[in-house]
Amino acid sequence: MFLEKTIARNKALIDAALMLRKEKQITPDTYVIDLDTVENNARLLVEEAKKQGVHLYLMTKQIGRNSEIARRVMAQGIDHIVAVDAWEALALAKEGIPLGHVGHLVQIPEDMIAEILNYRPEVITVFSLEKARSISREAEKIGITQKLLMRVVGNKDHLYEGQKGGFLEAEWLSSAKAIGEMSNVSLVGLTAFPCFLYSEGEVVATENVKTVLKAANLIQTHLSIKLEQINLPSANSVNTLEMLAKLGGTHAEPGHALTGTTPLHAIMDLPEKPAMIYLTEISHYVDQSAYVFGGGFYQRSGVNQAYVVPRDDLSKGIVVKAKEPSPLMIDYYAEVDVKDIQSHIGDAVIYAFRTQIFMTRSNVALVEGIQSGAPKLIGIYDALGRKKD
């Protein structure tokens, strides 16, 4: 999906990965992340966000809940993270990463609420009054008032399977009022997902945005509640922050923008550059296909190409067609079409696609110095952000 853009805009990342493999510092089934470029992408996002008056939370699931990357991004000015679930929140909080937003997309399990509250997240999203009451009870025990966001849902909203939930329109006012009457929580904002999606060469606002704005107007008008956060996540990048601000959004949650892998990055040279590739190698052949070691593929990755590089000559890479793994299979292997090229078992294969590393079993190699011509491997991590020996 991003292979051609990566070759054109950050070939140094590919070259560094191939050299590290040749030196036996990394193995197949490894994501390689260019820290220099991630840091620069973060700076660009922060600059645009300040210009638009938008606050940013960093999403780390797509880079494997990695605290080292989070720290480097925070150094550029994104001061808190958004955690996709409570497990990610705790993994990063225990590494000293400040929590910004928890509970969206995944609600906090009941018995984990107290531990999450001890790390003082800025906001927690709730899908129900029951969850709000649970948070209020736990907050009372430790003597704090926790700020909440309501996830609101409209009749025409776009919702992914497995991600449904939230307050329906008929419940907005009564639920906001009920939260306002709870002792140790306060309603400070609204959110929904996804608020922006790629469509025919551009990123557009979804019906979900209209829902959030409608709910905000209703709640602020009828309940005299001043909402401080209108959180509009999904496909957030330098390119979309102006649109988000003009629509009334106050908060964005960039994730793939940090690695230059939002859908729009596949077709345009946006300010953020590609900063992540997936490295594997040819295992064996079946008919006209080379089977490559898997472990890091993702069902919505958009894989269609791969870069095959001879083991004995790293200067002769060739782009070939690649088959996206079926969602019905375990990705022990993936297939690339090598019928028109010379290739051998052990040749390197490079991919650049849209991923969610936390859903894989891959290694993650963090490399600095690529952009200055002196690449240095600073660590190998697992897909959940834990550093390996």
Report which residue type is found at 72.
Answer: R
Q: What is the CA radius of gyration of the chain?
A: 22
Residue that is written with structure tokens 């019905």 in the block = 328
pLDDT tens digits for 124-167? 999 999 999 999 999 999 999 999 999 999 999 999 999 999 99
To the nearest whole number, what is the mean pLDDT of the chain? Answer: 96
Residue 148: helix, strand or coil by DSSP? strand
**What token pair was written down for 80?**
């808190």
CA distance 49 to 122: 19
| Cβ neighbourhood burial of 312 (10 Å; 0-12, 13-18, 19+) | exposed
CA distance 222 to 177: 10
Q: Which of 70-84, 89-103, 183-197, 296-310 has the lowest mean pLDDT?
A: 296-310
Percent of the chain at pLDDT > 70 equals 100
> How much is the pLDDT for 315?
85
Residue 123 pairs with which residues in a beta bridge? 101
CA distance 142 to 265: 45
pLDDT band of 270, cuts 50, 70, 90: very high
Percent of the chain at pLDDT > 90 equals 92
CA distance 53 to 125: 22
In this predicted structure, the answer to whether residue 113 has a pLDDT above a threshold of 90 is yes
What percent of the residues of the chain are helix, what percent strand, and what percent coil, each to the nearest 5?
35, 25, 40
In this predicted structure, the answer to whether residue 333 has a pLDDT above a threshold of 90 is yes
Is the four-CA dihedral 178, 184, 190, 192 of positive or negative sign? negative
- pTM comes to 0.95
**What token pair was written down for 294?**
């898997």
In this predicted structure, the answer to whether residue 1 has a pLDDT above a threshold of 90 is no
In this predicted structure, the answer to whether residue 33 has a pLDDT above a threshold of 90 is yes
pLDDT band of 298, cuts 50, 70, 90: confident
Q: What is the mean pLDDT of residues 232-240?
A: 97
Would you mind telling me the total number of residues written for the chain in this entry? 389
Q: Half-sphere exposure of 365 toward its Cβ, with a 13 Å CA cutoff?
A: 26
> How much is the pLDDT for 300?
77
Helix axes 172-180, 129-142, angle to 10 degrees: 10
